[in-house]
Amino acid sequence: MDTGLIILIVLGVIVLGLIMIYNRLVALRQTRNNAFSDIDVQLKQRFDLIPNLVETVKGYATHEQSVFENVTQARAQVGRTSGAGTDRIQAEGMLGSALMGLFAVAENYPQLKADQNFQRLQAELSDIENKIAAARRFFNSATNEYNTAIQQFPANLMAGMFGFHNEEFFELDPAQQQAVRNAPPEVKFGG
C-alpha cells in the first residue's frame, strides 16, 4: 500500500473522529438547553402565580410588610434574568426562599390558612414546585452528562477551542435544602 494513501486514511480517521466528538458535544449542550426549557415553563407559571398569592396573604397579614417586600424584590430579580445561567439560577433560589418566608407567615394566621383561595393557590404552587423538582433532576442529569463529556479525553482538547465549558447545576440553596428536609410529609385522605 502506498505511504501517501496510508497517511490520507489516518488523517481521514482523525478528522472523522474530531467531527464526531464536536457533534456529540453540541448534542449534549442542546439537550441541556432543552432540559432548562422544561424548567423555564414551570418557573414562569410560578412567577405568574406569585402576585395572587401575595395579595391573598396581604389581606390577612397586613403587618408583615418585610416578607411582601422580599417576595416582590425576589420576583423582580427573576424578571430581570433569563436563560440557564448563574444569575437566573441564583435569582430563582432567592425567590424560592422568599416564598418559604411567605408561607411561614401564613402559619401564624389560622384564618388565612382556612381561606379557600389561599388553599387553592398553595396547592397550585405545590404542584408547580413538584414539576420544577422533576424537571430540575432531568436538567442536572443533562448538565452532568455534558460536563463529563467535555472533561473526557480527547474531547477536553477540543472543548476549550470551540467554547464548550462546564455549566452550572440547578440546585437548591442551603436554606431551601433545610426547609425541604424539615417539611412534614403531605398526607391526603380521600378526594
H-type helices in the chain, by residue range? 3-58, 65-79, 86-106, 110-114, 116-151, 155-159, 174-182
| Contact assessment for residue 91 and residue 77, using Cβ atoms and an 8 Å cutoff | yes
Tell whether 46 is covered by a domain: yes
Residue type, 188: K
Tell whether 188 is covered by a domain: no
Q: What is the mean pLDDT of residues 174-182?
A: 54
State how far the Cα of 124 lies from the Cα of 130, in Å rounded to an integer.
10
Q: How confident is the model at residue 151 (pLDDT cuts 50, 70, 90)?
A: very high
Residue 143 belongs to domain spanning: 3-164
Average pLDDT taken over every residue of the chain: 85
Tell whether 187 is covered by a domain: no
Ranges 2-16, 101-115, 128-142, 167-181: which has the least confidence: 167-181
Tell whether 112 is covered by a domain: yes
pLDDT of residue 177: 55
| Contact assessment for residue 71 and residue 99, using Cβ atoms and an 8 Å cutoff | yes
Tell whether 178 is covered by a domain: no
Tell whether 175 is covered by a domain: no
Tell whether 189 is covered by a domain: no
Residue 162 CB neighbour total at 10 angstroms: 13
For 85-142, the pLDDT digits (tens) are 888 888 888 888 888 888 888 888 888 888 888 888 888 988 998 998 899 999 999 9
- What is the share, in percent, of the chain residues with pLDDT greater than 70? 89
Tell whether 172 is covered by a domain: no
Domain count, the chain: 1
pTM over 0.85: no
Q: Which three cell numbers stand for residue 106?
A: 401564613
- Domain CATH number, residue 25: 1.20.1440.20
| Contact assessment for residue 175 and residue 100, using Cβ atoms and an 8 Å cutoff | yes
